[in-house]
Chain A
């Protein structure tokens, strides 16, 4: 990129099942104010406002137009992107492009979802083609359930391994004051929870959360002048995937896929040979437990089929050698339009040393984040404490 881009501030709402006390405008405004406070800036100093959201979820067409007043877009340049689950990270990339272009110095990026104001299941089923698959109404839970049945059949993993991921996530979330599902659960609690779609149980699946996240990106000079601990965006990459071929469900499918393709491209950009050694913390987008195991493999943290061993051995725990989702991840908080951005923001907090109770207990120089959405889409970002590292 032509100019270096830093994250100089951010904020998020306390994510929750119910936010009857705010309308959508007020919800995003909370995150925007938190980000401005964190960056010690006023909205007048912001040069552009970028919003990401899934427009069908709240049944609102042109969401950014309604929210314009609450996001500070009045009188300012800006735009809206709507790529689904990945959008939170896409907006971060858009913000980075804006700053790197030289036309904007300080850009506000926002992602949000007020999940309770819509029928999430019905709209997720609308991801499928109207004439080929939509009436199955499987939604996300059906999709990840199929991934689970395929994973267990292929590698001999058990439902207990899924439960281990679920427990790790919610116990981490208990340390994260913003997380939605802070649950003091054990393996048996997960295995006793209600079956939604075999083998996915209630506790194996992400919640539907109401929440927002906002981040402020800037150029190097502003970062040096205004921010004590800027976090640098070192690389970004995006890989989408055609509809109808949603290969993540069938774990033995050997065709090139979105996750491995994107990871190898971002690793090539940075010269990463061993991601587990290069990155100190990972925030991945895991709508269900099985997805997290698959991410371990697709990111190259272990060999194919070995993901479940990593969690079994505690390697990806908050105090492990390769901590994954110390924030509690999407399994603990899923406000879809914000979720991919929360991965980036949480990774930035780790690098800043500001994650509070869920700060990983080791030095964090570099982090990798992934998004997930669409029909197997991802956006990955690599962040660092150092602009050259």
Chain B
């Protein structure tokens, strides 16, 4: 029985706009094979259960995990699928280990955005009675939120462009990223509008890829790795569904998810106690809004925060040193990649993106348009939890 859960292995594909040669099972197996090899774990002997993240509609497969049951070790064994952002797989996997049912769990998220049409898939997330017929997709919904948020607090397009510049610049040092470069503010502000105020450079690009992570209980972790990354806290929360029912200039669900995660981890002053954040900025304005929800700065201060340089790679509290989602991470894989990048920071294995001296990292992902559901995971070099 365990009171602690650690991340003991990580493998990620290179993220690319299109992996035409591999079907998604082969893509998934790349990272599964690698993470098992790197950790020396054997599927049959060591992995008690598998949790995958995928969606029927992205995969074009009814019960999408049918497509990967064989590669994920699900045959005649325990395997489940969550159709939510990959961060929630970490949360759910940890709960399984904390319950005492499992000691070692394999997590996987995969999506090949290139095989279908993002706008049509996104549109299907809107309810069929009122909003779907308006032709929404995540980008146009996000545009409504961005406009509301910018209006409420005087966030400017220079603020959102600063996020793009920072993240794509950080991504230059991330060998897995495909969208990267040292851009000028001018270039970013000249990119065409997709849905005003969101420009094409403000949108995380279509990407194919997969991420695998292995979780282990406290007792097992030390056998598997010298650098376990402890899950010190985690939390999830749902907001209301309809955009009109939410305060679009805020993120209640993220605040509550973060509060639960910080409460478990014993964090009372996020700005001081957290060393690095990897969050899910599917659109550039979301980085600003999510830093507020995570308590890194006050309500409405997201713009000032990025302008201050505090969240730059050399700043006091780097946000998305990996390049974030804007550097190209597939839908649904997003949150698992955030957790993976945050864990790599704690392990000291983030390579060119490494922030020095990371003891505590926070990862965040979201599901549903405009972040209706959020998941926050606090990771640390030591496993202490307050409850």
Q: CB–CB under 8 A between A and B in the complex? A: yes
Q: Which residues of A contact B223 (CB under 8 A)?
A: none
Q: Which residues of B contact A240 (CB under 8 A)?
A: 65, 69, 74-79
Decide yes or no: A2 and B62 within 8 Å by CB, A55-B83, A65-B372, A243-B69 being known contacts.
no
Q: How many A-B residue pairs have CB under 8 A?
A: 194
B247 to chain A, nearest CB (A): 13
Interface size class of B (residues with CB under 8 A): 35 or more
A218 to chain B, nearest CB (A): 14
Q: Which residues of B contact A127 (CB under 8 A)?
A: 61-63, 66
Complex: how many Å from CA A83 to CA B69? Answer: 11
Task: Indicate if B96 sits at the interface (CB-CB under 8 A).
Answer: yes
Task: Indicate if B99 sits at the interface (CB-CB under 8 A).
Answer: yes
- Establish whether residues B367 and A65, one from each chain, have CB atoms under 8 Å apart when the complex forms: yes
- For the A-B complex with A127-B61, A127-B63, A240-B65 known, give 9 more contacts whose Cβ atoms are closer than 8 Å: A1-B100, A56-B57, A61-B124, A78-B238, A79-B84, A99-B99, A103-B98, A237-B78, A240-B75
Complex: how many Å from CA A264 to CA B211? Answer: 33
Complex: how many Å from CA A97 to CA B99? Answer: 5
- Establish whether residues B57 and A55, one from each chain, have CB atoms under 8 Å apart when the complex forms: yes
Residue in A1, A77, A94, A375 whose Cβ sees the most chain B Cβ within 10 Å: A77
Which residues of A line the B interface, CB within 8 A?
1-3, 23, 49, 54-56, 59-62, 64-69, 73-84, 90, 94, 96-103, 123-127, 129-130, 236-243, 256-258, 261-262, 373-375
Task: Indicate if B88 sits at the interface (CB-CB under 8 A).
Answer: yes
- Establish whether residues B56 and A55, one from each chain, have CB atoms under 8 Å apart when the complex forms: yes
- Establish whether residues B69 and A101, one from each chain, have CB atoms under 8 Å apart when the complex forms: no
Complex: how many Å from CA A56 to CA B1? Answer: 37
- Establish whether residues B55 and A65, one from each chain, have CB atoms under 8 Å apart when the complex forms: no
Q: Which residues of B contact A257 (CB under 8 A)?
A: 76
Q: Which residues of B contact A62 (CB under 8 A)?
A: 83, 125, 367-369
- Establish whether residues B63 and A373, one from each chain, have CB atoms under 8 Å apart when the complex forms: yes
Q: Which residues of A contact B99 (CB under 8 A)?
A: 1-3, 96-101
Complex: how many Å from CA A64 to CA B83? Answer: 10
Q: Which of B70, B82, B257 contacts A80 (CB 8 A)?
A: B82
Closest to B124 in A: A61
A52 to chain B, nearest CB (A): 10
B4 to chain A, nearest CB (A): 12
Residue in A60, A123, A236, A240 whose Cβ sees the most chain B Cβ within 10 Å: A240
- Establish whether residues B77 and A239, one from each chain, have CB atoms under 8 Å apart when the complex forms: yes
- Establish whether residues A84 and B62, one from each chain, have CB atoms under 8 Å apart when the complex forms: yes
- Establish whether residues B1 and A2, one from each chain, have CB atoms under 8 Å apart when the complex forms: yes
- Establish whether residues B100 and A75, one from each chain, have CB atoms under 8 Å apart when the complex forms: no
- Establish whether residues B241 and A238, one from each chain, have CB atoms under 8 Å apart when the complex forms: no
Task: Indicate if B305 sits at the interface (CB-CB under 8 A).
Answer: no
Q: Which of B75, B101, B238 contacts A74 (CB 8 A)?
A: B238
- Establish whether residues A239 and B63, one from each chain, have CB atoms under 8 Å apart when the complex forms: no
Q: Which residues of A contact B256 (CB under 8 A)?
A: 75
Q: Which residues of A contact B260 (CB under 8 A)?
A: 77
Decide yes or no: A61 and B125 within 8 Å by CB, A78-B236, A243-B70 being known contacts.
yes
Q: Which residues of A contact B237 (CB under 8 A)?
A: 75-77
